[in-house]
Structure 1
Amino acid sequence: MSSATDTGTTDIGTTDTGVPARGSLRALLPALAGHRAMTARTCAAALLEQGSLVALTTLAAHTVGTAVAEGRAPSAATVTALAALVLVRALTTWREMDLSHDLAYRVLSALRVRVFDGLARSAPARVAGRRSGDLAATAMADVEALEFFYAHTTAQLLAAGTVLTGGTAVLFTVEPWLAAAVLPVAALLAVAPFADARGRAVRGNRTRTAAARLSADTVETVDGLRELLAFGALDGRRRRLAARGREVGDAQRAEATREAVAAAVRDLLAVVAVLGVVAAAARSVTDGGLHGPWVPAAMALALSVLGPVAESARSLSQAVALRAAAARVGAAVRAPASAPPPAVPRPLPPGPLAVRFHRVSFDYGGGPVLDGVELTVRAGETLALVGASGAGKSTCAHLLARFWDPSGGVVELVPADGDPVDIREVADAELRRAVALVGQETPLFHGTLAENLRLAAPEADDELLAATARLCGVDRIAPLDTLVGERGSTLSGGQRARIALARALLARPRVLVLDESTAHLDNAGDAQLATALHEESRTTIVIAHRRATIRRTDRIAVLEAGRITEEGTWDELAGRPGSALNRALATSSPASRP
């Protein structure tokens, strides 16, 4: 289970005060650029839907006014026009909803991919320390929340603005006092969502953060269910989940309460608009400006153009509360690459590759972890990288796999013939084919053993797959078509280690890095895999604490205080009093010393 604290779930895409950054929603509008035609059709449908309602309301009021004031029944043309407007209204309402939601779901589909790409691009620097449930909340729940923004905001705002402009222009022509009664209310409705924008954003952020914490705790609880049952901690965990649920409920109630207040304010403004329109119409009738059936028609026009504005104000109120979700999604989409791709990739020559660390320095934002590391691993050599816990061994492995780039110096792959190649100049796909990293806790994915093995080499044929499985003893675990549980939960640590090693070997890397990958194996299993891994043309770096594993390597390099302090064979170093190797081994756990 993750040991990350809750702080990793609260500040993604927010300012120092915890308020989502301004412009978070606007920053996601360019996602519509890939759907210009559908966006245009959605806006046209929204305009027709809102315009037909205004025309229908106005014509219906005029028809009723004609019947009451002049005692005349509506003509056939009027009835036909009303029927046509009803039909147009129904069809455009359906069409607008269909198009707007289709557009929103297409945008969300692309956004999910972009969020995943951003997380992958910035991993592990951005992912490290964040809980898997929090990441899932960003990739799924936060993106899903933006459906309202894309489906109910952009097209409706454009249509409402167009209808208000056109309707107001007509009102100025018919009776300026009616326009004067409508415009102040329309302006208040338009600015109302922004009057408490900061508060809405804070409450929305509180809801999204609470939901992310609940998601993280839920995923963590499911992953650690066996441990919770084994230690009798399930009741405590249940109480924690219940508390998280109450946090979400409290945050949602706070949002709903304030939205109810905002709705009441909009209703009050609508009442003010009605009173203003009635007063303006009465004045116009008194002055002789309006008369007969045009009075109710003008009043209906004045009030109906406010309808889309009020609906847009409601949508904006809800959209402002989505700033937190938009900020989290935007931060993931725009995440900088921890290892930017080369502008002009250099190809790696064929054949064995040596590895060279030249004056390599690195830190994680605090003190230096590596400080001018100088190390060369010859082509075909197996080198043990030894050091106390936290000495920077895994950091060297991660720099070679280019999860990060060094802050100083260079990591190079050196062909037998040709100049050294800085790994920053190698295309990612080619680097992954050349260098394979196997960690101590390499996860497996839900699927068959064969599917997990083919992860690094999907093109591998069945014969090669079976041979590699036999080499690493995977064939003795279960048939290759056997389903393994999520993260390999149905397998032991040693079995997962064998699968991880076989997966790496199936890709036939020229450089293999083993970061405590055999720690879960017993001595016999470790020795067996060491024999299976030996290949003259492959360069292997082994990070280990177990003496037997270190002794079998060709050469040993000891890392202390961010530097290589000692190099040599086991016989040269182990028998030397006070050697750095013996100091490093003395700090290892008893279980790793055989």
Structure 2
Amino acid sequence: MSSTAGTATADAQAPPRGSLRALLPALAGHRAMTVRTCAAALLEQGSLVALLTLAAHTVGTAVVEGRAPSAAAVTALVTLVLVRALTTWREMDLSHDLAYRVLAALRVRVFDGLARSAPARVAGRRSGDLAATAMADVEALEFFYAHTTAQLLAAGTVLTGGAAVLAAVEPWLLAAVLPVAALLAAAPFADARGRAARGSRTRTAAARLSADTVETVDGLRELRAFGALAERRRRLAERGRQVGEAQRAEATWEAAAAAVRDLLIVVAVLGVVTAAAQSVTAGRLHGAWAPAAMALALSVLGPVAESARSLSQAVALRAAAARVGAAVKAPALAPPPPAPRPLPPGPLGVRLHRVRFDYGNGPVLDGVELTVRPGQTLALVGASGAGKSTCAHLLARFWDPSEGAVQLIPVDGDPVDLREVSDTELRRAVALVGQETPLFHGTLAENLRLAAPEADDALLAETARLCGVDRIAPMDTPVGERGATLSGGQRARIALARALLARPRVLVLDESTAHLDNAGDAQLATALRQEGRTTIVIAHRRATIRRADRVAVLEAGRIAEEGTWEELTADPGSALNRSLAAAPS
């Protein structure tokens, strides 16, 4: 019970103020369309005010003076009806066109932000939650861009113009309208914090449901195998219940707000009728013009009331806007160099020079000094958690070291710090094959060509043959989402072939052959032998380590020892022997 209460409290916290305003600059790239949308909204609202006012005047003239409408009045009414219909359609068309164009660009910016801050910001979040931000949260902002910005500007303009006319015709009518207009405009802000908190609760609940649903679909085989489907169903049902409760709370408050707005409109009607009756009695307003003046006074309130409703719903989107804004503005953990330095041609070695790094809870690497000469193969060994994968991620520049430098060493010339290399050139020079093998829905050939879309069929076939991928299936065979139709060893072969297809000068293998048997490991070792390529292999398997030119052992964030297999295994008390004793053979 306490856990549920704590969750509800956390969900009820309002997102930062200004989250919606921060997304307004997204309209800057569509200035012309934004102007056209605002103009259409102004014409749509203005034509309605003019239509209602003229219609009321025509009726008033017919009733009070007993005169039939003139041809000019009928023509004007028909014209206003047509203008109103056309501008309503045009405003809806332009506003939604603008909104969807902005959302399309916003999704790309969200993806760029996630990619820019990966893997640190992404690693701690569930894929369903990330998908909710990239898709559902962005989609929710359609209402803000399509139904709020232009309409608020038009409503303010119509109210100002109508107020000026009323002030000239009959100030008492203006006095009856302005207080209600002010209350309608202020109503969305009176409960802004509560609306934002309820919207945040809904967005959070929906994101959790999305994350649980994605995990359930991905793990259906395991859930079925261990008889856990019933428990998972209960969990999804609970998540669905939480979403329903959050949505009902929002709908209930919105219904109450709508009732308040309707009550204010009723008050305005009573005030306008009273003011008009007094004006007619006092002779300040001719009886035939009284209906027109009343219609004008009330019609300028219509856009204000509609804008208040839209603004109320937009405030509830503050949580979605905050999540999208955080993704868009995510800082780069490896910022691009201001003046990229080109890499020299030829083989490249690697150097970690006095590298220190931590994830915020103590040092993982503490002054690592390691050099791998061009064309050399180094096996990096150490206990689990020693920092081997961190070294691999630093070499791929997913992060930058807190101290020291990670450098590429040409055969001739000065070392080049990774922070001075553009991301595009770095990806061509250094390839990392990690422990996980992400495969995408598509054919085998499409997955291989991710690293080198320009690779011709001959190179693709040769690389597939070297890595034994050609024996898995024909190149046009679909692999299934995330490679669901393949074994771990097959996925490892595909991942290695994909990296080799890009012809990197430095190849980093982070336990990427762990799913292979000894025969497969030996076969892939043959494929890796290429003159000039530098290879760093993170592994526990003895056969893999033995094939390396040199071996480095990582302990307590430092290189404990380095040498050949024969040199390090000759000493029974060496760090390598201790590491091998603790690892599976």
1:314 is aligned to 309
* Corresponding letter in the other structure for 1:463: A
1:60 is aligned to 55
Identify which of 81, 86, 90 aligns with 1:91.
86
1:544 is aligned to 539
Identify which of 353, 371, 375 aligns with 1:376.
371
2:187 is aligned to 192
Note the C-alpha offset of 1:465: 0.4
- Secondary structure of 2:438's counterpart equals coil
Equivalences for residues 464-483 of structure 1 within 5 A:
464-483=459-478
Note the C-alpha offset of 1:575: 2.6
Equivalences for residues 363-402 of structure 1 within 5 A:
363-402=358-397
**Kept after mapping to 2: 8 A contact 1:15/1:21:** no
Q: Deviations over 1:543-592 (max 9, x none)?
A: 0011111111111101111111111111111231221112222332x3xx
**Kept after mapping to 2: 8 A contact 1:357/1:412:** yes
Q: State the distance in 2 between where 1:343 and 1:140 align.
A: 32
Identify which of 167, 170, 175 aligns with 2:170.
175
Identify which of 104, 108, 112 aligns with 1:113.
108
Q: Deviations over 1:464-497 (max 9, x none)?
A: 1000000000000001111101110100000000
Q: State the distance in 2 between where 1:445 and 1:583 align.
A: 39
Q: Deviations over 1:331-358 (max 9, x none)?
A: 1111111110010000000111110000
Q: State the distance in 2 between where 1:16 and 1:367 align.
A: 31
Identify which of 114, 127, 140 aligns with 1:145.
140
> TM-score, length-normalised on structure 1?
0.96
Identify which of 96, 100, 117 aligns with 1:101.
96
1:215 is aligned to 210
2:445 is aligned to 450
Note the C-alpha offset of 1:66: 0.4
Moved more, 481-490 or 528-537: 528-537
* Corresponding letter in the other structure for 1:423: L
Note the C-alpha offset of 1:15: 10
- Secondary structure of 2:19's counterpart equals coil
* Corresponding letter in the other structure for 1:241: L
Identify which of 393, 413, 431 aligns with 1:436.
431
The share of aligned pairs that are identical, in percent, is 87
Note the C-alpha offset of 1:533: 0.7
Note the C-alpha offset of 1:18: 3.5
2:154 is aligned to 159
Q: Deviations over 1:416-449 (max 9, x none)?
A: 1111000110010100010000012121111111
Q: State the distance in 2 between where 1:250 and 1:578 align.
A: 63
2:407 is aligned to 412
Q: State the distance in 2 between where 1:16 and 1:146 align.
A: 20
Q: Deviations over 1:24-62 (max 9, x none)?
A: 000000111111111111101100000000001001111
1:3 is aligned to none
Q: State the distance in 1 between where 2:154 and 2:435 align.
A: 58
Q: State the distance in 2 between where 1:429 and 1:226 align.
A: 39
Q: State the distance in 1 between where 2:362 and 2:145 align.
A: 45
**Kept after mapping to 2: 8 A contact 1:361/1:406:** yes
Q: State the distance in 2 between where 1:17 and 1:320 align.
A: 14
- Secondary structure of 1:126's counterpart equals helix
Equivalences for residues 276-355 of structure 1 within 5 A:
276-355=271-350
* Corresponding letter in the other structure for 2:506: V
Q: Could you tell me which runs of 5 or more consecutive residues in structure 2 were left unpaired when the two chains were aligned.
A: none
* Corresponding letter in the other structure for 2:537: V
Q: Could you tell me which runs of 5 or more consecutive residues in structure 1 were left unpaired when the two chains were aligned.
A: 1-5
2:242 is equivalent to residue 266 of structure 1: no
**Kept after mapping to 1: 8 A contact 2:12/2:201:** no
Q: State the distance in 2 between where 1:154 and 1:293 align.
A: 37
* Corresponding letter in the other structure for 1:117: D
* Corresponding letter in the other structure for 2:307: S
Q: State the distance in 1 between where 2:386 and 2:220 align.
A: 33
1:425 is aligned to 420
**Kept after mapping to 2: 8 A contact 1:434/1:509:** yes
Q: State the distance in 1 between where 2:509 and 2:481 align.
A: 23
2:149 is equivalent to residue 129 of structure 1: no
Q: State the distance in 1 between where 2:88 and 2:415 align.
A: 65
**Kept after mapping to 2: 8 A contact 1:381/1:536:** no
